[in-house]
Amino acid sequence: MKKILLVLAAFGLILGMSGLAAAADITTFNVTALIEAACVVGTTENMAFGSLALLDADGKVVTTGYDDATATFYQACTTGTTGATLAFAGSAGSGFAMTGAGGSPDTIAYTLFSNSSRTTGITKATPALGSTFSGFAADGVDHQITVYGRIALASMVAKKVDTYSDTVTVTVSY
């Protein structure tokens, strides 16, 4: 009889424990993230006009025509970023000009353009909407942007032999 009581007590204890294990409490938590508007730019290829020939095959000074060059940089904006602008600033005052490195006070003016036909000029005073540049997009992907440069050969007459350079800073604002 003691054995039966002991078995029944053990069985009752097991039933009681299974009732404890079935009790539960539930909670929840939220998961959030914020993607902010952002843009970046970086240089991939500098603009190099190279050696400029100022004399033609007959030894005459070249005063007509242009020398063209390009530079590329990459741009990326998070998807949905709107109103991004690109501002360009060179070392010279109001325009773009290269200065002689050998102590020459001479400068060589050049013009920057946002299109390959070189009809849409870039000015230092007015930031250009990113959308004026072919390939500019706010889609979270790197895009290569080309800037087109031009030197009017007529502006080169009487310039001293030297190496001329300028640094252009590109700023993206959004």
State residue 32's pLDDT score: 97
Residue 8 lies in a domain: no
Single out the residue of 44, 35, 41 nearest to residue 127, CA to CA.
41
State residue 70's pLDDT score: 97
State residue 40's pLDDT score: 95
Domain that holds residue 146: 39-173
Residue 9 lies in a domain: no
State residue 69's pLDDT score: 97
Model confidence pLDDT, tens digit, residues 10-51: 555 454 555 555 789 999 999 999 999 999 999 889 999 998
Q: CATH number, domain at 148?
A: 2.60.40.1090
Model confidence pLDDT, tens digit, residues 84-109: 888 899 887 778 999 988 777 789 99
Number of domains in the chain: 1
Is 57 a residue whose pLDDT tops 90? no
Of the candidate ranges 57-66, 69-78, 140-149, the one whose mean pLDDT is the lowest: 57-66
Residue 19 lies in a domain: no
Residue 13 lies in a domain: no
Residue 146 lies in a domain: yes
Give the number of other CB atoms < 10 A from CB of residue 80. Answer: 10
Residue 1 lies in a domain: no
Residue 129 lies in a domain: yes
Please state, in angstroms and as integers, the Cα–Cα distance from residue 96 to each residue in 79, 92, 167, 168, following that order. 32, 6, 9, 8
Residue 14 lies in a domain: no
